[in-house]
Structure 1
Amino acid sequence: MQILDFQESDYENYENFLENHNAELYQSLPWVKFQQNSPNNRQFWILVAQNKQKWLGTILLIKYRLPFGRSWFSVARGPIITNNSLEDQAQIWGLFLEKIRVIAKKEKAIFLRLELPINSHLKLSGKGWRKAHAHYFPEWSIKIDLTLSEENLLKQMKSKGRYNIKIAQKAVEIRVTAKEKDIHDFYEILKQTGGRDGFSIHEEAYYQALIHAANQDNWGEFLVAEYQGKIIGGIMVTFYSDTATYYYGASDYENRSLMAPYLLQWNAILAAKKRGLKKYDLLGIAPPDEPNHPWQGITRFKEKFGGEIVNYPLAKELIFRPIEYYYFRLLKWIRGSTRRLFSRKA
């Protein structure tokens, strides 16, 4: 068995391998292209495990820059490994990790964050491993079965969800767009929603790049809700393999009585179903055993669409440079505390 660097000639084999193993967008080549062209212009590595020309596993590694020439690595919903024995999977992961350590040393990476696929059985333990201090992708989510008929999709929702869709249909118009002005108007609403629901957001340039990349290569759609010609909400939905994912969303609080977020989601669900996709991932809810979690509000909203609650493996971090790791965590804590202090004064 050997670990090889990805070559451009491997494009079709790579995407076929991911599709055959129900991989998510964040290990895909369209996601790589977006990361390259995003405002941060992130560097990446793709590794392939082969045995006698047969592909046994792949992994996409993305580099995030830190001050002072340091960095950290992310593997989101990977690695993707064939369903061999647990022993074989551990062997493949071990070979991947050897290669990652070499890259990490060269790139002065402080740590690796691994957010595993939903059915992964890899054991991440031993020296240097710890629970991730943060994660980009949620541990808990809700997935809706799109193989149901439109009638049954509505039936499996909570009655309040169906009712709110009907309320929105009376006054709200939904359209798909990738216009810069529409994205800007959405971003202004997103800034309000982020503060209200307690999540951080990127700069506007990130959303402009994301939506344009998804629109250009047909792996996502941006839907906006309008009332009397004004944008009052929007959502970004991605399409990959057999799954549509609700990636970002925002709504105008002043027009909350119009129930635009419900109609946005319903239109996205129908669009995904029309594409022949099998699942709609609502991407992130509060853990069921944490009633005071800051995501409880958005969780109650998502639960109204029905679906099945799913649980991903706990995100883990492998620390390469312990002293620098805790130093940067301290800086991050100080920066966050200062931001919260000034926001309260404002």
Structure 2
Amino acid sequence: MIREVTSREAWDEFVLAQAPNTFLHTWEWGQSQQADGEGLQYLGIFSDAGEQLAAALVLTIHAKRGIHYLIPHGPTMAAGVDPAEVLAELIAYLQPLAAADGALALRVAPLLESTDASQAVFKELGFKPAPLHVHAELTWVLDIPQSDDALLDGMRKTTRHAVKKAMNDGVATSIIPASEILDRFWPLYEGTGSRHGFVLYPRELIAEQLTQFADNDRVFGAVAQHGGKDVAAAIVFQYGQTCFYYHGASIQVERMSPTQLLQFEAIREARRRGATTYNFWGIAPDDQPNHPFAGITVFKKGFGGHAIDYMHAQDLPLAFGYKRLWLIEQWRRWRRGF
């Protein structure tokens, strides 16, 4: 059976107890998306005996190309629970609501590793691969070592050199609270967007994310300065024992790269906060050298770690209008190159 979860405490009690988990399936993420105008449901899936089996944060995305439900990096399931049973219950619950909500599809971005078995579960339920990825699917993860020396030793030689050179060149790093990071991050972010030609997240949306995650001290900022001037910044979210590098920005500094030192400091802060894993977020596949993320992938892999390949987002069409949504997103995928 499915019923709504009405408190953050009850939501966290279940979701934090599962592995893996993600900041995209937190109470805070749902609240920040709702503040941005999206619909929101916190759903718990329970056995007949009342034991919670899974949790699903369901967003109603009001996109111009078509309204659809989205479950970001979820649903979160207890160990041993059959994903097919959880998904079938969610489909049965959401299908009757789709007409009233105007939802054309149920889109699930699963936190399941991409295997033949996991793909078969979705295919048998009528899902098809979404035209676009929603969130990071191929991610780069570092198990945080217990000492700075071990962290440095695990880096690629060029990354380690860049960290030490930035130190010697007078780059200073600091960890700052969520209440202060946005004013320092935003000018760098605008410059990064102009330099690389990507669309920025709205300032109001990032501000809301910071507000929500700051409530339980689940976000921090890191800033690098050179000559008294901010040259790089990062916003890192934490959920449980994992910290996620989600927003980053920098300016070009001649003969110096402050971003490696900035990440070194962010990883050290994650360790101080009790995290055991640092998630660098999305990377490009090895066989796509022209992928837009190819450059940042080289940077992230320089710190050591390993890749986790999660399933591509899956769509279950719920209305005839899904075909239009699919065509528009296919065109967008072609235009942006991935």
TM-score, scaled relative to structure 2: 0.88
TM-aligned CA deviation for residue 339 of structure 1: 11
Letter in 2 for 1:303: K
Separation in structure 2 between the aligned mates of residue 319 and residue 290 of structure 1, nearest angstrom: 30
Shift of 1:181: 7.8
Q: 1:208 to 1:97 in 2, by over 3 A?
A: same
Equivalent positions of 1:212-251 (< 5 A) are 212-251=211-250
Give the 3 Å change call, closer, same or farther, for CA 287–3 of structure 1 in structure 2: same
CA gap of 1:127–1:275, structure 2 versus 1, over 3 A, is closer
* Residues 1:116 and 2:118 are matched in the alignment: no
In the TM superposition, structure 1's runs of 4+ consecutive aligned residues that sit over 6 Å from their partners are 332-340
**Are residue 210 (structure 1) and residue 184 (structure 2) matched?**
no
2: CA distance, partners of 1:179 / 1:25: 16
CA deviations on 1:246-292 (whole Å, 9 max, x unpaired) are 00101102x15331111111111000111111100000100122122
Judge conservation of contact 1:128–1:320 (CA < 8 Å) in 2: no
Matched AA of 1:283: W
The structural deviation recorded for 1:105 is 2.4
* Cα distance in 1 for residues equivalent to 2:280 and 2:146: 17
> In the alignment, what sits opposite 1:292?
290
Instruction: Give distance in 2, aligned partners of 1:302 and 1:12.
Output: 34
Q: 1-side partners of 2:254 and 2:239: how far apart?
A: 31
Distance change (3 Å), C-alpha of 1:119 and 1:83: farther
Using the alignment, how far apart are the partners of 1:159 and 1:82 within structure 2? 40
Q: Does 1:54 find its partner at 2:48?
A: no
Structure 1 contact 73–113 (Cα < 8 Å) conserved: yes
Aligned partner letter, 1:174: T
Residue in 1 that maps onto 2:271: 273
Q: 1:58 offset after TM fit, Å? A: 1.1
Structure 2 unaligned residues grouped into runs of 5+: none
Contact in 1 for aligned 2:178/2:220 (Cα 8 Å): no
Number of equivalenced pairs: 330
Q: Unaligned stretches of 5+ in structure 1? A: 341-346
Give the counterpart letter for 2:76 in structure 1. Answer: I
Q: Cα–Cα, structure 1 residues 64 and 21, in superposed 2: closer, same or farther, change >3 Å?
A: same
1:77 aligns with 73
Tell me if 1:133 matches 2:131. Answer: yes
Is the 2:179–2:210 Cα contact (8 Å) retained in structure 1? no
Equivalent residue for 1:316?
A: 314
Distance 1:248 1:13, change over 3 A: same
For 2:3, give the aligned amino acid.
L
1:29 matched to 2:34? The reply is no
**Per-residue deviation at 1:219?**
0.7
CA distance in 2, matches of 1:192, 1:136: 24
Within-5 A mapping of 1:82-93: 82-84=78-80, 88-93=82-87
The change in CA–CA distance for 1:227 and 1:215 in structure 2 (over 3 A counts) is farther
Cα shift at 1:61: 0.4
Worse-matched range after superposition: 216-225 or 242-251: 216-225
Mapped partners of 2:197, 2:97: distance in 1: 35
Structure 2: distance between partners of 1:329 and 1:119 = 24
Change (3 A) 1:155 1:338: closer
Q: Aligned in 2, Cα 1:99/1:144: closer, same or farther, shift over 3 Å? A: same
Q: What is the alpha-carbon distance in structure 2 between the residues aligned to residue 96 and residue 269 of structure 1?
A: 37
Cross-structure match for 2:141 = 143
